[in-house]
């Protein structure tokens, strides 16, 4: 986020990033091992990052994993705005995913979305809603070709059970 001090300040709070990296490190390592061992040239993984918050885990994975083996990361959180919706105060700001790249960065692309090695996509989903499993099946899982990896770092209580149900 060089050239965008406002965004950098919002995303990179030293203690927060270190905490996120420490919590994500075992998942990153496991994902590197899994992706590296994957030998299919025809199928790419899709990573579904549940209750992702700002998406630090997926951002780390986008930078660390082989983009030839991972198609995309889908960041799931109830605080994201709906697709193509106006960002409102109660929404999580997604400028670090879709926002415009400042002219000072000498990047031909117009948004951060195109700068991630593995594309990051957001999806507004409330895992506690009873209709959510059907919605996610219809709009996410049924539209993915290849293996799906469901990840979550910050789940607690009911959300953990929802993730296990989703996996099953």
Rounded distance between C-alpha atoms, residue 42 and residue 78, angstroms: 32
Q: Structure tokens of 97?
A: 């995913």
Whether residue 166 has pLDDT greater than 80: yes
pLDDT in tens, 44-88: 999 999 999 999 999 999 999 999 999 999 999 999 888 777 777
Query: Is beta strand 120-124 parallel, antiparallel or unpaired with respect to 45-49?
Result: unpaired
pLDDT at position 3 is 66
pLDDT at position 94 is 84
pLDDT at position 154 is 79
Distances in Å between the alpha carbon of 21 and those of 45, 61, 93, 101?
Answer: 22, 11, 20, 24
pLDDT at position 69 is 95
Residue 9's pLDDT band, with cuts at 50, 70 and 90, is confident
């Amino acid at each position: 986020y060089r050239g965008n001090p406002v965004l950098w300040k919002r995303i990179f709070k030293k203690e927060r990033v270190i905490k996120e990296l420490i919590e994500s490190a075992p998942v990153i390592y496991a994902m590197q091992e899994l992706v590296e061992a994957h030998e299919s040239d025809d199928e790419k993984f899709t990573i579904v990052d549940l209750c992702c918050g700002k998406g630090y885990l997926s951002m780390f994975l986008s930078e660390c994993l082989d983009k030839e083996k991972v198609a995309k990361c889908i960041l799931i959180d109830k605080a994201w705005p709906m697709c193509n919706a106006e960002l409102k105060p109660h929404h999580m700001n997604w400028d670090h995913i879709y926002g415009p790249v400042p002219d000072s960065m000498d990047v031909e692309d117009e948004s951060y979305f195109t700068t991630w090695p593995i594309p990051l996509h957001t999806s507004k989903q409330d895992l506690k809603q009873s209709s959510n499993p059907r919605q996610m099946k219809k709009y996410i899982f049924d539209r993915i070709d290849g293996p799906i990896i469901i990840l979550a770092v910050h789940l607690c209580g009911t959300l953990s059970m929802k993730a296990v149900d989703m996996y099953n």
